[in-house]
Amino acid sequence: MATKIEPFYETLGSQIQVAREHRKMTQAQLGLALKPPSTRASIANIENGKQRVLVHTLAQLAESLGVKIETLIPNNQPAKAPSQKDVERELKRKLNLDTPQLRKLTARLATTGKGDRS
């Protein structure tokens, strides 16, 4: 199992994933938009903070996603709490939950005080 590297790359990967999903692109499509092309697995590793990104690749990613490079680069501001939508997206992605399971889990979290194990 690959380990995560610097927190910068985890945040960068999340920003890339959000931009990719906003464009309704698959990881494979994004990888093919790069020169040289990259694999779906490589894009997944970037999005999960498990792979560093070269500057020229970051520029290509931004161009392929139709965003300014600055929108992908993490800033040094203190992290804000994720929105409920962000939490749900991560739960769905990491736990492979379907929508009814996700709603049941998030409803349970809301009634127990956000993770209270009562």
19 and 65 Cβ atoms separated by less than 8 Å: yes
The whole-number average pLDDT for the span 51-64 is 96
pLDDT of residue 93: 77
Domain at 7-72: CATH code: 1.10.260.40
Interval 2-27: pLDDT, tens = 565 888 999 999 999 999 999 999 99
Residue 42 and residue 31 in contact, taking contact as beta carbons nearer than 8 Å: yes
Number of other residues whose CB lies within 10 A of the CB of residue 72: 21
In which residue are the tokens 């997944």 written? 44
Give 88's pLDDT tier (boundaries 50, 70, 90): confident
What mean pLDDT, rounded, does the chain reach? 85
Closest Cα to residue 64, out of 46, 81, 82?
Answer: 46
Residue ranges per structural domain of the chain: 7-72, 81-118
Q: What is the pTM of this model?
A: 0.64
